[in-house]
Amino acid sequence: MKILVLNSGSSSLKYQLFEMPNEIPLCSGLVDRIGLENSTLTHNFHRNGEKEVFKIEGNIQDHEEGLLAVNKLLLDPEKGVISSVDEVVAIGHRVVHGGEQFASTTLITKEVKDKIKELFALAPLHNPPNFIGITVAERVFPNAQQIAVFDTAFHQSMPPRAYRYAIPKELYTDFGIRAYGFHGTSHLYVSKKAIEYLNNPDAKIITIHLGNGSSMTAIKGGQSIDHSMGLGPMGGLVMGTRSGDIDPSIIFHLINERGFKAKEVNDILNKKSGLLGLCGLSDMRDVKKAMEEGNQDAILAYELYAYRIQKYIGTFTASLNGLDAIVFTAGIGENDPDMREAVCKNMDFFGISLDKSKNKIKSSDIREVNEKESKVKILVIPTNEELEIGKQAFALINKPQNQ
């Protein structure tokens, strides 16, 4: 059974086609830097038993253009892995915000799509491209079952003291104003891997997902008990273009005293802040290049990014009442040893001690980068949100009808 997984991020699109239930990846790829200069599409596939890579460089304006290019490659006589769209039985879609309505993997219907659209305002950088992925996939794969896997679902285990805000109760009961949590598929996947690695089902773990969007989760016994993001995926850590945590009075000051409109402030905090706001660059690779050239704004952005992570480690260690391991994952977390070093610097009180030589070693496997005497394990675990989505999609379509 072939299951295609689409993972539309704020500036990227990952995809994988799996042969299930054997979890064999037939092809995978990444459309990167969508909407930015020098967009790329990297397509990995197997031919005659050998892995081959095909790369396109250009200017991919939006997610729809990227998705159509991916679909064309899947059917390509030389580079593709299917001869007909009907070979794909199901498509698993990553959907960032599911509100309280979706606590599990869901078959996509018109009603589900309508609800995803209703939640655009809470995840403006994500639910719209997620929705585009669904609508394009419905056109290209008309006979495949479309399935949504929600980032918010993993965090439904958070207790009220973690997800409620100290605001009038009716704002929660009437409008659902609460913290939902995001990147749940990634946090779930790497936490399961960490628990297996530690051989401790009750492990107290902090997972640190660092990419264009970044978040952290406190996990105890395999369940999310607290998370850095809130109502939408704007709060918490500094991100590529998102502000992370700010004093809410800033919003009212800009509107009431400086004449900004609410939509303008929303755009600033979502699309013009974070690394971009601090130094004019949203991609961490570009920030590091600017740092090497002595750009002081880039240096500050890098330091501030790491410092915010350190603050949340302290907060979540208190929430967990202890700490067995921290896990770095996603694009920056897995591939930037300098950021891992910056985060772990001066964290001796928490029992976090990084081995600089281990930290520099590149690997696609789970690895420890802590010193031998470190009380807390420092793990680098490559995330595989697509595989987790594929597994959940497969489980849903093969679920007995009476369950």
Which residues sit in the known binding site for ATP? Answer: 14, 209-213, 283-285, 331-335
**Candidate list 32, 62, 86, 151, residue with the active-site label:** 151
Are 110 and 64 within 8 A, CB to CB? no
Burial 217-231 (b: 16+ CB within 10 A, else e): bbbbeebbbbbbbbb
**Element spanning 268, H or E:** helix 262-271
Are 155 and 227 within 8 A, CB to CB? yes
- Whether 324 is catalytic is no
CB atoms within 10 A of CB 195: 19
Strand order in the sheet with 223-227: 223-227, 214-220, 204-210, 325-329, 377-380, 367-368
Distance CA 283, CA 289 (A): 10
C-alpha gyration radius of the chain: 21
Q: Which residues are annotated as a binding site?
A: 7, 14, 94, 209-213, 283-285, 331-335, 385
Catalogue the E-assigned strands of 196-324: 204-210, 214-220, 223-227
Are 58 and 113 within 8 A, CB to CB? no
Q: Tell me the three state secondary structure of residue 363.
A: coil
Q: Tell me the three state secondary structure of residue 112.
A: helix
Collect all residues with Cβ–Cβ distance below 8 Å to 131 and sequence separation of at least 6.
113, 116, 117, 120
First to last CA, the chain: 22
Distance CA 46, CA 52 (A): 6
Task: Show which residues are catalytic.
Answer: 151
